[in-house]
Amino acid sequence: MQVESPLLVAQEPSEASSKTPPEIYAEVFRELRPRTPIPLIDVKFRRYANATAKIKWKNGVLEVRIADSLAGAPDLVMHALAEILLSKLFRKPVPPHANDRYRRYLNRRDVRRHLDLVRQVRGRKQVERAQGSVYDLDQMFEDLNFQYFHGLMAKPLLGWSPNASRTLLGHYDPSHNAIVLSRILDRPQTPRVAVEYVLFHEMLHLRHPAEHRGARRCVHTKEFKEEEKTFEKLGEAREALRRL
């Protein structure tokens, strides 16, 4: 069995660790499985672009693979990650205090800055050119920029996704300063107003970055929601997307 955690982590070299990672995982293992002999624990740090953490228990060996950007994290953070991964592995509820502690660490400004740099350097953004079969995102961006932002918004990387996703119609990636729309929208039967609304929505993410409040990450702030209401034909656009 293998469990993957999409949580991102970053290095904090100034806070020294007094326990080795295998010792931390052995401690948490004992807490969750007090009657089970502690297996051989193999913890390795990998150069993951997204700082993914993975765990699996196979042939008597507990294998943990963690992004190298977490190598210098404090013991309490490593302990929280161990609780999260092992709880998921054993299909037990993740302790709320572990989630809270881990997310608070990830939401620290210096940690988020480091994560963005890691993703930018190691990750490759899969995006196809802005000129689609039907709609040109470059021209659409310029029209929306002039209409809603006085032409003052700097243009990010624009493009269509390689795959036609129905669940993720668009997203803004701050690490690569890119707006990507799902190719499923680039069709003759998709009303232009629907594509414009999705692009406008992602432009607002560029204008109103996510706010981090302790363990919470607020993507759609109050200011974001208020400005979104200024989109002309908002109801028509949402109805078109609902039909899609």
| Six token digits for residue 224 | 């974001």
Give the separation between CA 157 and CA 147, rounded to whole angstroms: 20
pTM check: above 0.85:
no
Q: Is the pLDDT of residue 3 over 70?
A: no
Give the separation between CA 117 and CA 30, rounded to whole angstroms: 36
Could you report the per-residue pLDDT of 44-64, keeping only the tens digit for each? 999 887 768 999 999 999 999
Band of residue 10 on the pLDDT scale cut at 50, 70, 90: very low
Supply φ then ψ for residue 125, to 5 degrees: -85, 120
Query: 225: exposed, middle or buried (C-beta count within 10 Å: 0-12, 13-18, 19+)?
Result: exposed
Q: Is the pLDDT of residue 113 over 90?
A: no
- The closest alpha carbon to 102, from 73, 144, 125, belongs to 73
Domains of the chain and any CATH numbers: 2-122 (3.30.2010), 137-243 (3.30.2010.10)
Cα(first)–Cα(last) distance of the chain, in Å? Answer: 37
Amino acid 8: pLDDT: 33
Band of residue 84 on the pLDDT scale cut at 50, 70, 90: very high
DSSP state of 87: H
Q: How many CB atoms are closer than 10 A to CB 184?
A: 17
Query: What share of the chain in percent tops pLDDT 70?
Result: 89
Point out the least confidently predicted range of 4-8, 53-57, 140-144, 175-179: 4-8
Band of residue 2 on the pLDDT scale cut at 50, 70, 90: very low
**Which segments of the chain are extended strands (E)?**
2-5, 40-46, 53-58, 61-67, 157-160, 170-173, 178-181, 211-213, 216-218
Beta bridge partners of 2: 56
Amino acid 167: pLDDT: 84
Quick one: CA torsion of 209, 191, 150, 138, rounded to 10 degrees? 80
Could you report the per-residue pLDDT of 161-216, keeping only the tens digit for each? 988 888 889 989 887 888 999 999 999 999 999 999 999 999 999 888 777 666 56
Give the separation between CA 208 and CA 108, rounded to whole angstroms: 18
Beta bridge partners of 44: 65
Angle, alpha carbons 87-88-93 (nearest 5°): 60
Q: Is the pLDDT of residue 243 over 90?
A: no
| Six token digits for residue 160 | 């269509």
Mean confidence (pLDDT) of the chain: 86
Amino acid 1: pLDDT: 42
